[in-house]
Amino acid sequence: MSDHIYKRHNKTLLLYHIVCPAKYRRKVFTEEVEHTLKEVSMGIGERHEMHFVEIGADEDHVHFLIQSVPTYSPQRIVQIVKSITAKEIFRLHPEVKKKLWGGSFWTSGYYANTVGQYGNEKVIKEYVRKQGRTYRQIHRGQLMLFDL
């Protein structure tokens, strides 16, 4: 089950289920792009106070289950994840940029939902796993404490 994040003056358990579609719902998530997405996301987690509990991709969208701290709003989490992953995917996979006519990687919108500790985490994980015909789990990690 989920672990709390302990800070000097607070204790939190904030989990977000975030869904980000690729621009034009293009089917851009190949195994190579998924690998890059995972690696870049792990780097984001190291640099920012975020932990990617799970990442799952279908051909045209990605589900993230992210644990973070209260100083980041859900909108800020999405902004950080989308901007850094898009930049790196375009840099490492120029063929993807061509599929998207040289524009943005992600749509401007997203879906975000909070996930509660008591039961909802399992429900959301199961929901994420059952998305799409070609859904593949590309990362699975445990919730963890941040010692910052």
Mean predicted confidence (pLDDT) in 4-29: 89
Instruction: Tell me the C-alpha to C-alpha distance, in Å, between residue 54 and each of 67, 103, 112, 119.
Output: 10, 27, 14, 16
pLDDT digits (tens, 9 = 90+) for 70-86: 999 999 999 999 999 99
From the options 3.10.300.10, 3.30.70.1290, 3.30.70.980, 3.40.1160.10, give the CATH code of 5-140.
Answer: 3.30.70.1290
Indicate whether 61 pLDDT > 70: yes
Indicate whether 44 pLDDT > 90: yes
User: Which of 25-29, 77-81, 101-105 shows the lowest mean pLDDT across its residues?
Assistant: 101-105
Q: How close are the terminal C-alpha atoms of the chain, in Å?
A: 21
Domain ranges of the chain: 5-140
Higher-scoring residue by pLDDT: 117, 43: 43
Percentage of the chain with pLDDT > 90? 59
Mean predicted confidence (pLDDT) in 16-41: 96
Indicate whether 35 pLDDT > 80: yes
Indicate whether 146 pLDDT > 60: no
Q: Which amino acid is at 40?
A: V
pLDDT band of 117, cuts 50, 70, 90: low
pLDDT at 148: 44
Rounded to whole angstroms, the Cα distance separating 46 from 40 reads 10
Give the side-chain half-sphere CA count within 13 A for 51.
Answer: 19
Rounded to whole angstroms, the Cα distance separating 115 from 33 reads 27
Rounded to whole angstroms, the Cα distance separating 28 from 31 reads 10
Strands 11-12 and 61-68: unpaired
pLDDT band of 138, cuts 50, 70, 90: confident
* Whether 56 contacts 135, CB under 8 Å: yes
